[in-house]
Amino acid sequence: MYCLDPDYRGQKGAISTQYSSLATDDTFFIDKENDKFFIPSNVYIIGTMNDIDRSIEVFDFALRRRFAWYEIEANKVMDTVLISMGIDEALGSNYKDYKDKIKQLNQSIIDDLGLSKHYHLGPSYFAKIKLYIHNNYEYKDAREKVWNNHISQILKEYVKSKSKSKEVETIKENFIL
């Protein structure tokens, strides 16, 4: 992480890595003695992180001070991203209905499951419908495939300790029907 800080970018912040000792004359085409790792000052790193991913909390704190943070809400970018992925073309006249079902599903995460907007599902979950449409599934059947293969497990994981399986079933019915 040291190399990510702007003050340590470039050769002035070069460090030896755990693999430096493995260097031999046969494996190097540059000077073996100066084998150091650094991030060039003109390289920018763009990363993404979900707010709800607590398994990397310690790592998260180390990163927070090294980057500028921008919140991107799933519902605010949904239409733009889905259109950029060609979902509107794949679904044709069903696209508006699909957008409405997505919006309803994400609102149900708040209203029915008692979670925050940070648990909303983003476009990548819903873009999977294109796979099923291109494999000649009807729109309703494709939605059911998206639910069964991409959405249901994450929602169940969200609420596994909250006894909300009935609410997840209601969300399923609203999404599929």
Q: What is the pLDDT of residues 114-168, one digit of tens each?
A: 999 989 999 999 999 999 999 999 999 999 999 999 999 999 988 988 888 899 9
DSSP annotation string for 116-160: -GGG---HHHHTTHHHHHHTT--HHHHHHHHIIIIIHHHHHHHHT
pLDDT, tens digit, for every residue of 85-110? Answer: 999 999 999 999 999 999 999 999 99
Q: Which residues contact 2 (CB under 8 A, 6 or more apart)?
A: 8, 13, 15
Per-residue confidence (pLDDT) for residue 27, from 0 to 100? 59
Tell which residue, 166, 146, 168, 141, has the closest CA to residue 156: 168
Q: Quick check: 36 and 14 in contact, CB under 8 A?
A: yes
The residue assigned the tokens 């909250």 is 162
Dihedral (C-alpha) 39, 28, 17, 64: value to the nearest 10 degrees?
20
